[in-house]
Amino acid sequence: MHSNIRFLTCAIALWLTGLGGKVVAQDAQPKTMEPDIPMTIVEAFDISAYNFNGPMPLSDNPAHDLYHDIWTAGTAFSYPGLEVPDSFKIDLRGYCMPTPSTRVNDIFGFRPRRRRMHYGLDLKVDLGDTIRAAFDGKVRTRTFNRRGWGNYVIIRHENGLETLYGHLSAALVHEDQLVRAGEPIGLGGRTGRATGCHLHFETRLLGLALDPALMFDFPNGRSTGESYVLRKKAAAKAAQSSASYVKVRQGDTLSAIARRNGTTVKNICKLNKITQNSIIRPGQTLRIR
């Protein structure tokens, strides 16, 4: 509570300083500012909408039922002794798009070219774009991994999901910090193993990677419904199964590709988030399952 009051004081002081730069502290002690939160971000976000009521009440929420008291700051996803339930309903109300862009650069699933799984979904961002928390929650991890996600943040949400935000040029939050949906938590970038600027966004439940596209309709910037029911068997299969891709040939049509690969145009459209009238070009990669 005390640090929250300090934060508010700092935010107001920053705001006043911005107005004229003539505010002089009344007492002799120099005011210290919260680190890592640039003034522009503090101003851009309406802190009055926040209620600073101390720690998240972890005693009566779905996250507590799943994770108990396991709270490992600084690590990715490790929950020894805990198991994903066979079925689990995830409340999706209160979702906020993590990026200003709604463009998906790369989907969840197996990447044949690199022979490895892509456990998240990539959203297009420009360098310095504001990255926002998808739901209310508490920052569990904020760290750096040069060979992987670069600067990244993991937030645990009351609905049981943990979301990961990777390749940030900067993180704006610290571990154990409470955040609200839509609160700026980082800036877009390409740190770690990334080709080009994008947000690597993961949604996990007790470490099990779920396809974010099942829960969020990114092109329209909203959740796919009020809730999503996770079925463990199907999710585990999806997180291991090999998606298949083909390259579009000269003169190809969606129906020819569908016929050749034993699937339907409708299915291809759904997998690639295109319509039957979308133009496909030779050399383009399409997912067929």
Least gap, CB of 95 to Zn ion (angstroms): 20
Shortest distance, position 117 Cβ to Zn ion, whole Å: 10
Among 14, 91, 98, 122, binds Zn ion (CB under 5 A): 122
Measured distance CA(75)–CA(72) in Å, rounded: 6
Instruction: Candidates 43-51, 115-123, 126-134, 238-246: pick the segment binding Zn ion (CB under 5 A).
Output: 115-123
Select from 84-92, 97-105, 116-124, 250-258 the region that touches Zn ion (CB under 5 A): 116-124
Report the chain's C-alpha Rg in angstroms. 21
- 109 vs 120, which CB is nearer to Zn ion? 120
Of all residues in the shown chain, the one whose CB is closest to Zn ion is 200
In angstroms, the CA 41 to CA 264 distance is: 47
What tokens does 38 get?
A: 């640039």
CB of residue 123 vs Zn ion: minimum separation in angstroms? 9
Size of the site for Zn ion (CB under 5 A): 3
Looking at the Cβ atoms of 209 and 268, the one nearer to Zn ion is: 209
Strand partners, 155: 139, 163
**Under the criterion CB under 5 A, does residue 202 sit at the interface with Zn ion?**
no
* DSSP H/E element including 255: helix 254-260
β-sheet bridge partners, residue 42: none
Whole-number Å distance between alpha carbons of 68 and 61: 10
Q: Which of 200, 208, 254, 272 binds Zn ion (CB under 5 A)?
A: 200
CB 184 within 8 A of CB 117: no
For position 156 contacting Zn ion by CB under 5 A, the verdict is: no
Q: How far is the CB of 194 from Zn ion (least distance, A)?
A: 8
Closest approach, Cβ 11 to Zn ion, in A, equals: 33
Q: What is the phi-psi region of residue 273: left when phi exceeds 0, alpha when psi lies from -120 to 50, beta otherwise?
A: left
CA distance 88 to 232: 8
Is the backbone of residue 130 left (phi > 0), alpha (psi -120 to 50) or beta?
beta
Considering the complex, state which of residue 142 and residue 200 has its C-beta at the smaller distance from Zn ion. Answer: 200
* Smallest distance, Zn ion to C-beta of residue 166, A: 7
Which residues bind to Zn ion, rule: CB under 5 A? 120, 122, 200
